[in-house]
Structure 1
C-alpha cells in the first residue's frame, strides 16, 4: 500500500483498487466511461463514470439481466473476459467474450447507465479479447486474439482483424492477421486495441501472459490491414524486469485515451503483492500519463513504470470516490458493489421481506458445491458440467491489504447442515468461512478453511482435485443475534464473534491468508468478502437476516 502524502495536486494509484482487471475506457465530450472484466460474477461488467480520470463513480453494470449473461458451468475464472467500450455516433458499444456460453458478442446502449441491449453474437469471431475500431471512412472493424495456424508452442497466438457490419452484426470480407507480438516466440498476445493518430494506425496489445511477465507492446501501420511495424522501444510498459519484490507487479492490458485538452493517458491492470509474492487483491486498475515522441507513445515518461503517484490530470473535478462504509440494506435493491457467484436461477435474497435487512434464503447450494477447473490458457472452455449453482452468497471485492469487516446477523440454525455467516472467497476451493452452525446438538461459532490440491495433466487436458476442508477452531455459542468480525493486517487474519459490538471475542488470530491469493489458488480473480447461508445439500425453508455490513479499509 502506498503511504506517501498525497496533495490535491496529485493522485494515488490504483484508481480502482481491488479486483478490477482489463480496464477499457472511452470519452464522450468531457465525460469518461470505463469498464472491467467480471468473470463468473453477476451482474457482469461494472461500468464507471468520471470527468477527471481519477475519481470514478459506478453507474451500474452492462450485463445486469439474466437474459444477457448465462454463467452456467462457469468456474470463478470463466465467464466474461476483457470487454472493450467504445462510443460512436450517439451509441455506446461494449464487446466481450463469454467463455462459457456463446463466445464473442456486442451489446449497445444510447445511455451508459443502460439499459443495454441483449447480446448480438458474432458468428465466425474466433478467440477472445475482441475490440472495435471505427475508421474515418465509415467502416467498422473487429479485432481479436486467436490461436495461430499450426501453433508451435503454448500461447502461440496472433492478432487478427475483419470488417464488421454493425447493422447486421456480421463479419464481412476476409480476416487478416495483423501481428504476432514484439518478442520472438511471443506468448499469449492478447487484448488488442486500434487507434488512428495523425497518419498512423496504432495497434496496442499485451503479451507475456497476465502474471509476472505481462507487458504492453505497440505496432503501427499507415494501412489498417498492415504491414505493422513494432516499436523499437517495445515493451512500452512492463514490470517483469523489476523483480517480484517490487510493490507493483504484472503490469499490462492497457487502453489509451486522449483528453479534450489533447493529453494522453493509459489505463492498465497491475497488482500489489504483499506478504511475499501473493496478490489477494487481484488485478487492479491503474492510470499512467503518456506522451508522444517520434510518433510513438511513451508511457510514464522519465521512469517507464507505473508510479504510485502522478500529477492530477488538467480536467474538471469529478465526484469523489465513495468511502467504504456501512451498508444498512435500506434500499430496495442491492448497491452496485455487490455481486453473486454465477447467474442466480432464483432470487435467493430480499431487501423487502424484512425492511432494513438483507435476507438470505438457506438453500441447498453449498459454498463448496462446485469445484472450478484450473485454467489451461486463454482458449480453454473454463466449463465443467454441473457448475450451474449460484449459492446464497452476496459478496464485494477486497480492496485493501488491511481491512476490517463487521456484520450483525440474526440466524437460528435448525440442524447440522444449516450454516450462515461471513465468507472470504478466492474460488470454490480456497476460502475461509466464519459461520454459525450446530454440531453435536450444540450451537457453535467455527472457522472453516478450504484448500485444494490438484493433479493437472496439461498434455491430456485432465485435472483431478483433492479438496481439503478443515475446521480450524470452534466454540460453543448460543445467541440468535450474532456479531461477526474479520480483521486483516496484511496476510494475518483474525476472526471475532460476540453478542454485541463491545463484547467481541477472538475466535482465531493471525491465520495465514495467503490461500486467498491466485498465486496459491490459480485463476484470474481477486478475493471477495461477503455474506452467505447454506443448508449444504438438505432442503430448508430457513433464512438468515443481516442488519448491516461494514467494510473499512485501513492503512
Structure 2
C-alpha cells in the first residue's frame, strides 16, 4: 500500500494549523522573529505541500523591531468561513512583555491579507477562532486561572464571543478547562470544533519540549462544563524515551477530508547525533478515527510514525523546487527570510542582474537587530549548501560570507575579511556569546566559493576560487550549538548570506551570484 514520509514540512515549521476549503487544504506555521511572517502552504492530498506566500509580508502588518530571539509571532490558527480566510495569532513583544493577539483576513489565500485587527482585551497566547452554527464566533486562548495558579505555568483555556465586524471581544468570559493531566503546565494551543452535536476542545499540555502532549475534552454546551477523555493524553511521545526518532509531539489541529476521513497535524522534532534538534520543531501528519465520540490517534499504535499510510486522496505532487536559486527572478523566493523587519534598502536583485546584492550594514548578526542577512531553513540532517560571492573588504570591520545560525549567541560564521592588511577567510564559532576562531587562511580573491556540507552533527566548511579548486577550511565541526537543546529558544537552524561593517559606516556591498541547498541522501 502507498505510504508517505513524515514530517510533511521538514525543518523549522512549528505549531501547524490547517483548514480545508472544498478539495484544497491550507496550513500555516509560526515564524517568531523572522520576516516575512507566517508561511501559508497549499495541498490537495495532505502530504505534498507548496508554499503560496506569507500572510504577514508587509512592514505595516509585522513590526519586529527590537523583538528578541524566539519572540514575535506565535502559534497562528487558520480558518475559513463564508468566503473569507482568517489567520489569528499572538505577537509576543519580549520575554516578559505584552502578548498581543490579532487577526488578519483575505478572500484569496494567496493574498493580499489585511493589516492586523488587534484584540486589545484578549490576554494569553495561542488564540483560535470558532464559528458556531448559530452564527456566533468565539475566541479561545489561554490565561492564568482567575482563582490563581496552583503550580508553575498552570494555565486554563478561556472563551469569549468576538464581534468580527467591530474587531472586539464582547460578552462574558468563560473558563473552559485547565487540562486533563494532574499538575500539567503550559495549557495552550486550544482549538474548538463541533462534531456530531459535541463541542470538542483540543489543547496542548506539558510544554513544547519532551513532555509535550495533546489532550481533548467535550461538552454539549460551548461554555461547558467540559468532560476530559479518559484516554488522555490522546497523543504524546514522552513515554517512548528521548532516543525515539520523533520527540516532543504536540500542538495539534484537525481536519476532515472531503471523503470523511480525519487527520491531525502536529508539531514534533527529530533529534540526531544525540538529543539535539538542529531542525527545530517540524510539522507532522497522523490519521485518527472516532470511537464512542472520542478521537483515537493512529489506531493500534497511538503515535506518529515516520512512515504512514497515504491518505485516501488523489496524490498531487507539485513541481520540484529547484535546488539552486540563481537570483534571476524579480523577487526573492518564498524560502528566504530576514531576521526582523527589514527597514533599510540594504538588499537588491536589480542593482546587478542575476545577483543578490547585500549592502554592508552597521548592524551585526551577533545583535538582536535587523542585520544584512538573507537565510533559509536547514531542513535536513544531511545537506549541502554552496554560494559564490563577489566581495573585497577594504576595512578590517568589513565582512561578508555564509552564516549557520541558531540565534545571535549561537552560530558559525564563514567570513571573508581583512586582518592586518591581508585578506583572509575565517571560520568563527559563537557559543553563548563567546567567539572562537576555528580556522583562518590567507586568501586574495574577489570571487569566492563558499561551501558547507553537513553529515549529521559533523559540519564541514570549504572555500575556493572555482568549483574545481575547493579547499578545506575546517572539517568535522560539532554542529550541536545549532540545536535548541544547547542554544534554547523555539526556532530551528538557518543558513544564509551575510554582510556587515561591524558598527562602522561603509559603502561596500557583497554580490551573491547563486545559492544552492540540497539534501544529501
Following superposition of structure 1 onto structure 2, how do residues 287-436 of structure 1 map, counting pairs within 5 Å? 287-320=285-318, 322-323=320-321, 325-370=323-368, 389-436=369-416
**Which stretch has the larger CA shift, 278-287 or 310-319?**
310-319
**Which stretch has the larger CA shift, 317-326 or 185-194?**
317-326
Say whether the 8 Å CA contact 1:324–1:553 is kept in structure 2: no
CA distance in 2, matches of 1:321, 1:492: 31
Q: Deviations over 1:2-59 (max 9, x none)?
A: xxxxx8x211100000000000000000000000000000000000001100000100
* Structure 1 segments of 4+ aligned residues over 3 angstroms from their partners: none
Residue 163 (structure 1) shift = 0.5
Q: Deviations over 1:222-264 (max 9, x none)?
A: 0000000000000011000000010100000000000000000
Say whether the 8 Å CA contact 1:290–1:300 is kept in structure 2: yes
The secondary structure found in structure 1 opposite 2:468 is helix
Q: Give the unaligned 5+ runs of structure 1.
A: 1-6, 371-388, 453-466
Partner residue in 2 for 1:457:
none
Say whether the 8 Å CA contact 1:281–1:527 is kept in structure 2: yes
CA distance in 2, matches of 1:306, 1:41: 28
Say whether the 8 Å CA contact 1:55–1:321 is kept in structure 2: no
Of the candidates 257, 260, 273, which is equivalent to residue 259 of structure 1?
257
Residue 301 (structure 1) shift = 1.2
Residue 102 (structure 1) shift = 6.6
**Which stretch has the larger CA shift, 278-287 or 305-314?**
305-314
The secondary structure found in structure 2 opposite 1:129 is coil
Say whether the 8 Å CA contact 2:99–2:124 is kept in structure 1: no
Q: Count residues in correspondence.
A: 516
Residue 267 (structure 1) shift = 0.3
Residue 123 (structure 1) shift = 1.8
Q: Deviations over 1:392-416 (max 9, x none)?
A: 0000000000001000100011111
CA distance in 2, matches of 1:554, 1:196: 44
TM-score, L = length of structure 2: 0.98
Partner residue in 1 for 2:461:
495
Is the alpha carbon distance of 1:324 and 1:517 closer, same or farther for their aligned partners in structure 2, counting shifts above 3 Å? farther
The secondary structure found in structure 2 opposite 1:501 is coil
CA distance in 2, matches of 1:199, 1:23: 26
Partner residue in 2 for 1:191:
189
The secondary structure found in structure 2 opposite 1:154 is coil
Residue 319 (structure 1) shift = 3.2
Of the candidates 9, 19, 22, which is equivalent to residue 16 of structure 1?
9
Partner residue in 1 for 2:38:
45
Of the candidates 106, 110, 118, which is equivalent to residue 109 of structure 1?
106
Of the candidates 131, 141, 144, which is equivalent to residue 144 of structure 1?
141
CA distance in 1, matches of 2:119, 2:481: 38
| 1:228 lines up with 2:226 in the alignment | yes
Residue 422 (structure 1) shift = 0.5
CA distance in 2, matches of 1:420, 1:392: 9
Of the candidates 126, 129, 134, which is equivalent to residue 126 of structure 2?
129
CA distance in 1, matches of 2:166, 2:244: 48
Residue 554 (structure 1) shift = 1.3
Of the candidates 55, 59, 67, which is equivalent to residue 62 of structure 1?
55
Following superposition of structure 1 onto structure 2, how do residues 138-177 of structure 1 map, counting pairs within 5 Å? 138-149=135-146, 150-177=148-175
Of the candidates 495, 499, 510, which is equivalent to residue 544 of structure 1?
510
CA distance in 1, matches of 2:425, 2:372: 19
The secondary structure found in structure 1 opposite 2:52 is strand
Partner residue in 2 for 1:523:
489
TM-score, L = length of structure 1: 0.92
Residue 348 (structure 1) shift = 1.4
The secondary structure found in structure 2 opposite 1:519 is helix
Residue 310 (structure 1) shift = 1.4
Say whether the 8 Å CA contact 1:56–1:318 is kept in structure 2: no
Say whether the 8 Å CA contact 2:119–2:167 is kept in structure 1: yes
Of the candidates 6, 31, 34, which is equivalent to residue 27 of structure 2?
34
